[in-house]
Amino acid sequence: MTTNTAKKPTNQSPKKMSRKRGSQKHSKSVPNKLVLVPVDFYPHSVAALKFAATLADLMGATLLILHVVHDPVDVPGFYTHEEKKERRLQRMEDVASQMLANFLKKMTKDHPNLPVIRKAETQLVPGLPVTRILEVVEKLQPKCVVMGSQGRTGLAQVFVGSTAENVVHLCPVPVTIVKSKHFPATS
């Protein structure tokens, strides 16, 4: 795991589509008692969410799970979704919202020992991952950010051009990088 702090991000505010389980708005009732965990639904995100949930529970903090809806180059505004051997295009926000809901459902089922995940707030924001993560950090001022890394060997392979590296270097709050090979995604 790696932890670091650095420069402030830009002052632009993200267009947000926020969701709390059962609510539509992010609660600001607990300032600075927030652990932010950006996820992309890969195994390293599972490991990061498990670590972040444990950390939030120990800190008595709220867990905010963030997914940045990133436009694919080939079909801007849409994700390709394959279902029953047919390929179709769907609005990115709709697919991302369903993917996030499925991800959280699986996480709560697979990790009943982490009830903070059930209480977690979620937020979807469109845009470039690094930019949007930093904008959410600036706006909400979490205690820390927890992100997953693929856990490849060699520092250059892990960080060159990665979202995690850029967030570590630019984020004004502590960032913890969780490698999935060191914090397994399975129970």
Q: Is residue 184 one of the residues assigned to a domain?
A: no
Query: Is 58 part of any domain?
Result: yes
4 versus 60: which is more confidently predicted?
60
The answer to whether position 64 is within a domain reads yes
In a domain, 71, yes or no: yes
CA distance 84 to 41: 21
pLDDT digits (tens, 9 = 90+) for 13-47: 444 444 444 333 444 444 559 999 999 998 899 99
Give the count of beta carbons closer than 10 Å to the beta carbon of residue 17: 16
Tally of domains within the chain: 1
Taking a C-beta distance cutoff of 8 angstroms, is the pair 40, 67 a contact?
Answer: yes
CATH number, domain at 53?
3.40.50.620
Tens-digit pLDDT profile for residues 47-89: 999 999 999 999 999 999 999 988 654 445 445 555 555 544 5
90 membership: H or E segment, kind and range: strand 86-91
Domain housing 106? 2-179
Cβ contact 70:128 at 8 Å: yes
Distance of CA 185 to CAs 7, 74, 162, 179, Å?
31, 31, 20, 10
Q: What is the DSSP letter of 99?
A: H
In a domain, 185, yes or no: no
Q: What's the whole-model pTM score? A: 0.71
Domain contains 103? yes
Q: Is residue 187 part of a domain?
A: no
On whether residue 9 sits in a domain, the answer given is yes
